[in-house]
Amino acid sequence: MESLNILVVEDESLVALEITQTIQNFGYPNVDYATTAQMAKALLQENSFDLILMDINLGEERDGITLYQSLAIDTPIIYLTAYKDDATIQKAIETNPIGYLIKPYSDDELKALIFLATYKIKLMLSHQNKGQRLALGASYYFDTQEDKLFYHDVFIHLGKKELQLLKLLMRAKGNTVSYYSIENEIWGSQSVSSSTIRTLIYRLRAKLEYKLIKSEQSNGIFLKM
């Protein structure tokens, strides 16, 4: 990856254009911008981006943090905002951003953060290319070498059966795993109730982005990959 593909989300058109041109002057030619949540979603559906710069105040009912959470994507994010109250910062931190720039900020501050993002993204891709990380979506990945689940770089502890269930779903590669298969693979010859199986599924869902594990009516479940 020689340069990042960057999306700027800023509701003021002139500001969005200025940020775009500033980043291009840093040596990143591939920069698009969106001025509404709808435009941002459309661009993300049509293109592959390595980094998002998101203004928190989009002048809409939904703020930039909530918009990013609703996208359920792995793309790293930097927040740009005039808000510096504890509640807003804490809400942003929960999405594990690469950085948070308080307006007004200098070009040097922006450049440093984008250079840091470039380094982190290249490091992440190098791990993926070694076949150690399996992206699950919504910034979760599974380290196949260590048998561990992570959210970005934060380790998520799984119980023995939760780990078995996750690995079973990953092996299915998006295909439905029946409740019978779950019972047979995890409990073997031991008979368990349907509520026990569903409780295990619920526990695993609670540790992942809930929408990543889908139910197929009464047939079973699958991992959205």
- Domain 6-129 in this protein, CATH class: alpha beta
Q: pLDDT tier at 3 (50, 70, 90 boundaries)?
A: confident
What residue ranges do the domains of the chain occupy? Answer: 6-129, 134-223
Length of the chain as a residue count: 225
Residues 147-206 have pLDDT tens digits of 899 988 789 999 999 999 999 999 998 889 999 999 999 999 898 999 999 999 999 999
Residues 40-58 have pLDDT tens digits of 999 988 888 999 999 988 8
User: Greater confidence, 133 or 158?
Assistant: 158
Residues pairing with 154 in the sheet: 151
* Secondary structure element (H or E) that encloses residue 93, with its range: helix 86-93
Does the domain at 134-223 match CATH 2.30.30.40? Answer given as no
Give the integer Cα–Cα distance in Å for 17 and 185: 54
Residues pairing with 77 in the sheet: 52
State residue 33's pLDDT score: 95
Give the integer Cα–Cα distance in Å for 190 and 11: 57
State residue 89's pLDDT score: 84
Residues 85-129 have pLDDT tens digits of 788 888 888 888 888 898 889 999 999 999 988 888 887 766 555
Q: pLDDT tier at 78 (50, 70, 90 boundaries)?
A: very high
- DSSP tag of 210: G
| Identity of residue 49 | F
State residue 139's pLDDT score: 85
State residue 61's pLDDT score: 65
Model's pTM, two decimal places? 0.58
Give the integer Cα–Cα distance in Å for 66 and 199: 29
134-223 and 6-129 share a CATH fold: no
State residue 127's pLDDT score: 59
Q: pLDDT tier at 1 (50, 70, 90 boundaries)?
A: very low
